[in-house]
Amino acid sequence: MESVNLADMLIWYVVFMLSFTAHEAAHAFAAMKGGDFTAYHGGQATLNPIPHIQRSPFGTIVVPLISYVMMGWMIGWASAPYDPAWAAKYPRRAAWMAAAGPAANLVILVLAFLGIKAGLAAGVLMPPNLEAFNFTSIALGQGVWVGIAKMLSLLFVLNMLLFVFNLFPVPPLDGSGVITLFMSPTLAHKYNTFINQPMYALLGIVIAWRLVGVVFWQGMRFIIRLLYPDLMV
């Protein structure tokens, strides 16, 4: 285990909390708009990270920091509560609630992409060693641009990972709810009744964990080509 760079860990944690908070706040906001105020009353319909940390302190503080010290990158979780009776009554609204989380990560991904493009055009950023998991750009000089390059890179990579992982159409991931947007209300109800069992949630996590690497890297290669058309990736 290498020594921990506290500055890098702080950047990682800021990006981690922003990405997870945006994801869960989007779920809560979409549920509120659909008529379920459970997460809103719990304080989760906000970009303020404090309510999300209070709801899941182990997944938002302990696990991310331990994983960074042990592996050099952060994993963790957060959650926004919802009313299962509301979801059963309004499966389409529940599906839009599920889609809102990954959509928030996609928005952050696009903003990071545009930020990197702007940095490249301004001559303050350059392509990195693409074998590095954490970075999709590096600063040409020193000073504040080093931190900005790291933050943009981490926002890019982490939100790409969250977007891809959560869209797998298996429970308990958001994709298992999103897929019901393409079903009739009757079929969506039967599908949700079938998959909302603990054994399927465990199986879904195993399947997504086995496949996410392949899908993630294919997506990364595609977007890296858009960022750096002259690079062979």
Write down the pTM of the prediction. 0.89
Strands (E), the chain: 125-126, 138-139
Mean pLDDT of 151-175: 91
Which of 42-46, 64-68, 148-152, 228-232 has the lowest average pLDDT?
A: 228-232
pLDDT digits (tens, 9 = 90+) for 16-36: 999 999 999 999 999 999 999
Q: Where are the domains of the chain?
A: 1-90, 103-228
Mean pLDDT for 139-155 is: 83
User: Percent of the chain at pLDDT above 70?
Assistant: 93
Residue pLDDT, tens place only, 49-63:
999 999 999 999 999
Q: Is the pLDDT of residue 15 over 90?
A: yes
132: pLDDT strictly greater than 60: no
Rounded CA-CA distance 172/77 in Å is 13
- Residues 6 or more apart in contact with residue 20 via CB below 8 angstroms: 52, 60, 76, 77, 78, 162
Structure tokens at 42: 């719990």
Segment 111-138 shows an average pLDDT of 78
Mean pLDDT of the chain: 88
Asked if pLDDT for residue 140 goes beyond 80, the answer is: no
Task: Assess whether pLDDT exceeds 60 at residue 120.
Answer: yes
Q: What pLDDT score does 204 carry?
A: 81
- The per-residue pLDDT for 233 is 55
Query: Residue 231 pLDDT more than 90?
Result: no
What pLDDT was estimated at residue 2?
57
Q: Given 3-state DSSP classes, what are the helix, strand and coil percentages for the chain, each rounded to the nearest 5?
A: 70, 0, 30
| Residue 232 pLDDT | 58
Write the pLDDT tens digit of every residue in 195-224. 777 777 777 888 888 888 888 888 888 888
